[in-house]
Amino acid sequence: MSYNFDLFIIGAGPGGIAAAKQAANYGKRVAIAEQEAIGGTCVNRGCVPKKLIVYAADIALQDKIAPSYGWSECQRHFNWSKFIAKVYQHVESIQKSYLETLQKNGVELIRQRATFIDPHTVEIGNRKITADKILIAVGGHPNKPDIPGIEHAITSREMFQLQQLPQKLAIVGGGYIGIEFASMMNAFGVEVTLMDTNELILDGFDNDIRSSVQKGLIQRGIQFLSKTTVKEIKQSTQGLQLTLSGDTEETITADTILVATGRVPNTKHLGLENAGVELGEKGAIQVDDYNRTTQDNIFAVGDCISRVPLTPVARTEGEAVAKTAFGDNPQQINYDYVTSAVFARPEAATVGMTEEEAREKYNAVQCYQTEFEPLLYSIVEQKEPTTMKLVVDSPTDRVLGAHMVGERAADIIQSLAVAIRKGITKEDFDATIGIHPTTGEEFLTLD
């Protein structure tokens, strides 16, 4: 049977675009459907605009320590709307370059929503398109708790479209998104209250890292309510009123409420039932080790499979699917050493096993840890300690995980990840001569 395309991709985020490029490199006929902006969550309402806001917020933090470095105090004014317009200029330039890449590779982009008619056919606008293989890379969207008044709360998506900065921001959820926005908004002078149902923020990270970031944020002036959630939101004359439950049972007010309580896969109304594609837990698409769904010719990658919802992972999975479908060697992904970072101040980054995970899996685990004041803060009043931790399997001396909170944690952990993935030992760390004076060199002298 002849199909219109060798590969049809639903969703032009990092996962879909990576697969499109790789399949086109094999000389395959590829089309990609996108219902919104090319680049997906990461480019348009995630990593990219977020990191630019982090940079803007860092300027405010640098201003705070500048007088200790001999700079005169100055009053600067931050213009959010001017700044966010610049951010979106950059986002558009990325969209344009993605578009050029797709065109250069001969990939047809169809700017509409696609749904399944059968395992080889999708409906898109008034077209029916057939393909030998189909990749689902539809991403996810924010989960909003089902409570009265939730329509008054916004999600990360709307945070990027604010007309002006809030004065009082309440954040529900202390995961990646809640923590990053809490940190950025606090730096801009916004009064931030953050709540989480857990005792500690950043579920899934090493416990020492979680408490170190939490301490750092509280020190910066963020009000943290642990084991607390919101059960009702009402509009009042003082603003939005949040009725809390859990450890803190009171009413607080805010002018903006951000809910950041996780994300859910975009798998509804996709016609998956017409294609024999089954869902697993929490609406995520079920896939095997090769990202193949329950239908042989259909694959799924990225946030819609809820494995590790990060951009580099979606990209790697997209490439791997194209290699599996059209190359000589089927590709499986090793998720053991996926690095990740929370771009808060203080910044947190991690690779490999947490102490808790290592102790469950290995009999003799030794942790090497330090907390110190980095040179940058040595001559300023405000203190911001750095935490570093190595998790080691004692009998083999192999480093199982590295974790850090502090300046440039993401870049430092990123570099260590290469060595740790290759099986480096604690002795290898000790034998390495560092660069002085840097923060990273402290990883080489832990005892």
Ligand X SMILES: Cc1cc2nc3c(=O)[nH]c(=O)nc-3n(C[C@H](O)[C@H](O)[C@H](O)COP(=O)(O)OP(=O)(O)OC[C@H]3O[C@@H](n4cnc5c(N)ncnc54)[C@H](O)[C@@H]3O)c2cc1C
Q: Which residues participate in the annotated binding site for NAD(+)?
A: 173-180, 262
Query: Cα–Cα distances in Å, from 71 out to 6, 55, 61, 64, 375?
Result: 61, 20, 14, 10, 18
Under rule CB under 6 A, residue 175 binds ligand NAD: yes
Q: Which stretch binds ligand NAD (CB under 6 A): 10-18, 84-92, 170-178, 349-357?
A: 170-178
Under rule CB under 6 A, residue 341 binds ligand NAD: yes
- Report CA Rg, the chain: 23
Q: Which run of H or of E encompasses 212? A: helix 207-219
d(CA 288, CA 67): 56
Give SS3 for 252: strand
d(CA 103, CA 105): 5
Contacted entry of ligand X, ligand NAD, none for residue 196, CB cut-off 5 to 8 Å set by kind:
ligand NAD
Q: Is 403 a catalytic residue?
A: no
Strand extents, DSSP E, 13-59 = 30-33
Contacted entry of ligand NAD, ligand X, none for residue 190, CB cut-off 5 to 8 Å set by kind:
none
**Structure token pair of residue 50:** 């977020």
Under rule CB under 6 A, residue 345 binds ligand NAD: no
Under rule CB under 6 A, residue 139 binds ligand NAD: no
Under rule CB under 6 A, residue 13 binds ligand NAD: no
| Least distance (Å) between residue 437 CB and ligand X | 28
Under rule CB under 6 A, residue 173 binds ligand NAD: yes
Residue 154 one-letter amino acid: I
Strand extents, DSSP E, 209-265 = 223-225, 228-236, 239-246, 251-254, 256-259, 263-265
Interhelix angle 14-25/311-326, rounded to 10 degrees, is 30
CB 172 within 8 A of CB 153: yes
Contacted entry of ligand NAD, ligand X, none for residue 137, CB cut-off 5 to 8 Å set by kind:
ligand X
Annotated active-site residue in 120, 152, 269, 436: 436
Contacted entry of ligand NAD, ligand X, none for residue 342, CB cut-off 5 to 8 Å set by kind:
ligand NAD
* Comparison of 33 and 233: residue with beta carbon closer to ligand X: 33
Under rule CB under 6 A, residue 261 binds ligand NAD: yes
Query: Cα–Cα distances in Å, from 111 out to 12, 34, 373?
Result: 10, 5, 51
> For strand 228-236 and strand 223-225, is the pairing parallel, antiparallel, or unpaired?
unpaired
**Site for ligand X, rule CB under 6 A:** 10-16, 33-36, 40-42, 46-47, 50, 113-114, 137-139, 156, 177, 266, 270, 302-303, 309-312, 314
Residue 60 one-letter amino acid: A
* Comparison of 157 and 234: residue with beta carbon closer to ligand X: 157
Contacted entry of ligand NAD, ligand X, none for residue 172, CB cut-off 5 to 8 Å set by kind:
ligand NAD
The binding site for ligand NAD (CB under 6 A) comprises 145, 172-178, 180, 195-198, 203, 229, 260-263, 309-310, 340-343
Q: Annotated catalytic sites, by residue?
A: 436
